[in-house]
Amino acid sequence: MPLADIHIRQFSYRVQRRHNEDMGVSPQTEQAIPMLQTEKTEKTHIQYMADIENVKEVALFGSTDLSYWQRILQPMHLQPVSVDGHGVMQISASDLKYMGRRFNEFTISVLVEAAGDNGAVTGFYLVHAYNTSLMFTLMERAFFSTPYYHASIELKETVPVSFALRDGNGVVLSAMFSGSVSAQKSPELWEGPIYLPVRADETGKEPLKLFYVSLGGETEVFAFSPDDTFRVQSPHQGHALQTLVDSHFTPTEWRVRQSANHKKSKTYTLQG
């Protein structure tokens, strides 16, 4: 069965349930704060450094080539999660206000799992990220070791939703929902790790880093229809967007939150 026929709602429930089982959380307490393995013998409750309310968020989920990401992630001891033989990618654009400043973020990530003391732990691998605020871009890179770059981001979070990423040469990625498909709507919450890239010349040598997030809110889910559009403008070799082309990213579903809550921890280094 093609991934386009899979309801990401059901898939997200499986991910949340599996993550909770990994963390020893019973089904009756699914919203409990997870535990992070910061050292081999110590477990620490997550303390979030940033807690942002009223986030406007548009995410586009899709299938991707599993073997491509297996090659990329193997040196970091991560594995792409397989759903019917395909990997899962997420492209997300959001509008936030923090420290009195309003800005937009744009992220590209892959659903992955890593070995843990209690089995595989599911999270996302952050391929690349952009921020419209140069100050926050520099803070992300300096204090959180995240792969953020400064860029122009456009976002429309009301139906028909759309987003676009621009660089000095114009629009390099865009997506637009036609509004021709009705939505399913329900409250959702996902808590888990975001794994960070290791620089190419240090792959396998530099310890893997991660931070934890809690992302939730009333979520509208729309299937990606033939009337919707998704375009990547011929990225040059080595550009982050080239991964979308090389891995054959195929959109399957929109997920829209008009007022989400985003929480983020500090960055941790996994002990070998």
Domains of the chain: 3-21+47-269 (2.40.400.10)
Inter-residue contact 136 to 101 (CB < 8 Å): yes
Task: Judge whether residue 263 has pLDDT over 90.
Answer: yes
List the structure tokens of 70: 């297996």
Averaged confidence pLDDT in the chain: 81
List the structure tokens of 218: 């009333």
**pLDDT tens-digit series, residues 179-208:** 877 778 999 999 999 999 986 444 446 788
DSSP symbol at 47: -
**pLDDT tens-digit series, residues 125-139:** 999 999 999 999 999
Residue 7 banded pLDDT, cuts 50, 70, 90: very low
Rounded CA-CA distance 64/43 in Å is: 34
Task: Judge whether residue 232 has pLDDT over 60.
Answer: yes
